[in-house]
Chain A
Amino acid sequence: MALRDQTGPFFGEYGGRFMPESLIAAIDEIAEAYEASRDDPSFQAELAELHRSYTGRPSIITEVPRFAEHAGGARIILKREDLNHTGSHKINNVLGQALLTKRLGKTRVIAETGAGQHGVATATAAALFGLECTIYMGEVDTQRQALNVARMRLLGAEVVSVTTGSRTLKDAINEAYREWVTSVETTNYVFGTAAGPHPFPAMVRDFQKIIGEEAREQVRELTGRLPDAVAACVGGGSNAIGVFHAFLDDPDVRLYGFEAAGDGVDTPRHAASIGRGRPGVLHGARSYLLQDEDGQTIESHSISAGLDYPGVGPEHAWLADLGRAEYRPTTDTEAMDALRLLSRTEGIIPAIESAHALAGALELGRELGPEAIILVNLSGRGDKDVATAGRWFGLFDEGARQE
């Protein structure tokens, strides 16, 4: 079977549906509606039209030669998911799940968010479709991504700051599950990444695989061939699986996922689930997980809220074990340096998440040499990260405050 044909619930020994019985009926309902939508031309046409006239798809590719000078002279091409409406790849998945919500006849959506991009995309779709919307976000993240909290509220969503556990993405998911148990009859859970119980990993991937499908053709048109390497950052892994998927059965295209290494993978402060975790069950699926000897989840750390998650989607765990994709660490410092470099050489300010993939591409370019073509998924833009970058690089005038 082609690698592209995996539909879950299992990817090798990963994935599955380890969930409370209270949520099984709702998950089954989503799986059923999703399967029906895949073969439904009217659903696909409606989604395609939203991509075209609302999101702004296809997103362009941009070659970045001045940035590539720092990568051993390899050609680097960016897939510009940062130019999508709402500023990241998250909208691709959300529009699909919002259409499913309508088909399920539900009137309210909930979602978790880390960096706030998935929350913003969900709040946006809720506004567009006239759905009520509540977003769960860890308290640590509501502080470091305050701009996105305001955006969600401006869009009419309620934002709940989650104060339990590590107060980051994993706890936002816990709280969203808890809420969903009590509201499942009226509410659909719009899950943001290619993780969680079946059907979410396969469904989110299918809504995101348009990234790689477009980019594969665009790179071929620009360069006359397929890229040698595809690079993406990996938190839960939705942008990475989205750009990888079209290339899974192209044996000459190497796939690289870059996990957030925080202070370094050999320190206690990182989020490298594949690099330093071992298989376990969290949030409904079996996958690599940062955990202690007793199976208690270990808190992850990353400067990037969107990658600050101790688990990873099951398809990535499977691709890692197969050796089809290679997962490497990128530290906070490497990512921030790459963020500044792209800003200064190309006039593009990337999200800190995406900057992990850019840092990885610099390393890959030096390894693969000047003949190499590297496709990088620029999954989001950096507007939301200006405050973090300002503090990191000391860009604010002393005492200055925006009133």
Chain B
Amino acid sequence: MSDAVTRNAASVESVIRARRDAGSGALVGYLPVGFPDLDTSVDAAVALAENGVDVLELGVPYSDPVMDGLVIQKATQTALERGFRLRDVFTAVERIRARVDIPVLVMTYWNPVMQYGVERFATDLASAGGSGLITPDITPDSAGEWIDVSDRTRLDRVFLAAPTSSDARLRQTVSATRGFVYAVSTMGITGLRTDLDAAARTLIARLRDAGARTACVGIGISNPEQVRQVLEYADGAIVGTALVKSLAEGGVSALAETASALSAGTRLN
């Protein structure tokens, strides 16, 4: 994808659309910063980029992660116990961007950003080469400051959409979002699920009706076949738990294998 490491990554949306226009779709991979330690988490993110992941979603460990399942909770709790600090996020983004040309989004619960200062967080993220934020515990109607700041700093802001969201809320989410809309595929928190919910297909169709240009499906995807199924109707498949589990159990080399296997789901037959 890249011939040179550039300071400015291609935008998240353009990367996803390029994959879709080529007839498939994008693979978005999640890993928490600082797990099992800062250096390894950087190596792990680089391994994702080198094994078929198109967009990185770096998670910020947080004390009260209400949208995460047990596997990710355990990893982020470990990172916190080992001394993760919020500023490590910018270090990680910078180091990853120096090694691979891939857009990096940061997934964070809201209180850490508020305490750091929304403006300061955005500025530091932009200068580290980050593309924007995914914010799972706030919605556009509670994110006024972030919407203003992200407009000024030209960062992406990824909001979530759920099968229970009303049409009016989906329109609001689509118009506030930049990068992609993050569709929650089952009424569930992150975790492994063997069957993908038909709700995801319906939700993506509703998002298209609401004007979404790019929409990715997350939560519940753990194998290449599921990636392929999701990409039949969505622009990207987001994988988290399966990657974190693989990193926890087998280290960076196992993670690389898992990412590579998952990315087979994005290839055309």
A positions within 8 Å CB-CB of B: 16-22, 24-26, 164-165, 170-171, 174, 177-178, 181-185, 280-283, 289, 291, 293-297
- Decide: B64 and A165 in contact? CB cutoff 8 A: yes
Q: Which single member of A25, A182, A297 contacts B165 (CB below 8 Å)?
A: A25
Q: Which single member of A17, A182, A297 contacts B189 (CB below 8 Å)?
A: A182
- Chain B 252-267 per-residue mask, 1 if CB under 8 angstroms from chain A, else 0: 0000000000000000
- Decide: B187 and A181 in contact? CB cutoff 8 A: yes
- Decide: A19 and B137 in contact? CB cutoff 8 A: yes
Residue of A nearest to B187 (CB): A182
Instruction: Provide a sorted-by-A list of 26 A–B residue pairs whose CB atoms are within 8 angstroms.
Output: A16-B142, A18-B142, A19-B137, A19-B139, A20-B66, A20-B136, A20-B139, A21-B139, A21-B173, A22-B160, A22-B164, A24-B164, A25-B166, A164-B73, A164-B77, A177-B66, A178-B66, A182-B186, A280-B115, A281-B110, A281-B111, A282-B111, A291-B115, A295-B114, A296-B80, A297-B64
- Decide: A293 and B115 in contact? CB cutoff 8 A: yes
CB of B152 within 8 Å of the partner chain = no
A182 surroundings in chain B (CB, below 8 A):
186-189
In angstroms, Cα B86 to Cα A88, docked, is 41
Residue of A nearest to B62 (CB): A296
> Other than the known A19-B142, A178-B67, what 16 A-B pairs have Cβ atoms closer than 8 Å?
A18-B138, A20-B160, A22-B67, A22-B184, A24-B164, A24-B165, A25-B169, A164-B77, A165-B63, A165-B77, A171-B64, A178-B69, A184-B164, A185-B187, A281-B111, A296-B112
CB of B65 within 8 Å of the partner chain = yes
Residue of B nearest to A181 (CB): B189
In angstroms, Cα B197 to Cα A22, docked, is 15
B166 surroundings in chain A (CB, below 8 A):
25
Residue of A nearest to B162 (CB): A22
The dominant DSSP class at the A interface is mixed
CB distance from B77 to the nearest CB of A (A): 7
- Decide: A295 and B115 in contact? CB cutoff 8 A: yes
- Decide: A21 and B169 in contact? CB cutoff 8 A: yes
Q: Count of A-B contacts with CB under 8 A? A: 107
CB distance from A353 to the nearest CB of B (A): 23
A18 surroundings in chain B (CB, below 8 A):
110, 137-138, 142
In angstroms, Cα B139 to Cα A24, docked, is 9
- Decide: A294 and B137 in contact? CB cutoff 8 A: no
CB of B85 within 8 Å of the partner chain = yes
- Decide: B86 and A174 in contact? CB cutoff 8 A: no
- Decide: A25 and B164 in contact? CB cutoff 8 A: yes
Given contacts A21-B139, A21-B173, A22-B187, contact A295 B66 (CB under 8 A): no
- Decide: B112 and A178 in contact? CB cutoff 8 A: no
- Decide: B114 and A26 in contact? CB cutoff 8 A: no
A289 surroundings in chain B (CB, below 8 A):
111
B positions within 8 Å CB-CB of A: 62-67, 69-70, 73, 77, 80, 85-86, 110-116, 136-139, 141-142, 159-162, 164-166, 169, 173, 184, 186-189
The dominant DSSP class at the B interface is loop
Residue of A nearest to B186 (CB): A182
- Decide: A21 and B77 in contact? CB cutoff 8 A: no
A170 surroundings in chain B (CB, below 8 A):
64
In angstroms, Cα B62 to Cα A171, docked, is 12
- Decide: B189 and A178 in contact? CB cutoff 8 A: yes
B111 surroundings in chain A (CB, below 8 A):
280-282, 289, 291, 295, 297
In angstroms, Cα B80 to Cα A294, docked, is 11
In angstroms, Cα B164 to Cα A289, docked, is 30
In angstroms, Cα B187 to Cα A25, docked, is 12
- Decide: A20 and B67 in contact? CB cutoff 8 A: yes
CB distance from B117 to the nearest CB of A (A): 10
Interface hub of B110, B111, B161 (most chain A Cβ within 10 A): B111
Residue of A nearest to B139 (CB): A21
Residue of B nearest to A175 (CB): B66
Q: Which single member of B63, B137, B139 contacts A297 (CB below 8 Å)?
A: B63
- Decide: A294 and B64 in contact? CB cutoff 8 A: no
A280 surroundings in chain B (CB, below 8 A):
111, 114-115
Residue of B nearest to A26 (CB): B164
Which 10 A-B residue pairs are closest in the complex by CB-CB distance?
A295-B115, A25-B164, A295-B112, A294-B86, A22-B162, A297-B63, A295-B111, A296-B63, A177-B66, A21-B160
B69 surroundings in chain A (CB, below 8 A):
178
In angstroms, Cα B184 to Cα A184, docked, is 14
In angstroms, Cα B116 to Cα A393, docked, is 45
Residue of A nearest to B188 (CB): A182
B86 surroundings in chain A (CB, below 8 A):
294-295
Given contacts A21-B169, A177-B66, A280-B111, contact A294 B142 (CB under 8 A): no
CB distance from B175 to the nearest CB of A (A): 14
- Decide: A181 and B139 in contact? CB cutoff 8 A: no
A295 surroundings in chain B (CB, below 8 A):
62, 86, 111-116
B159 surroundings in chain A (CB, below 8 A):
21
In angstroms, Cα B165 to Cα A289, docked, is 30
Residue of A nearest to B182 (CB): A21
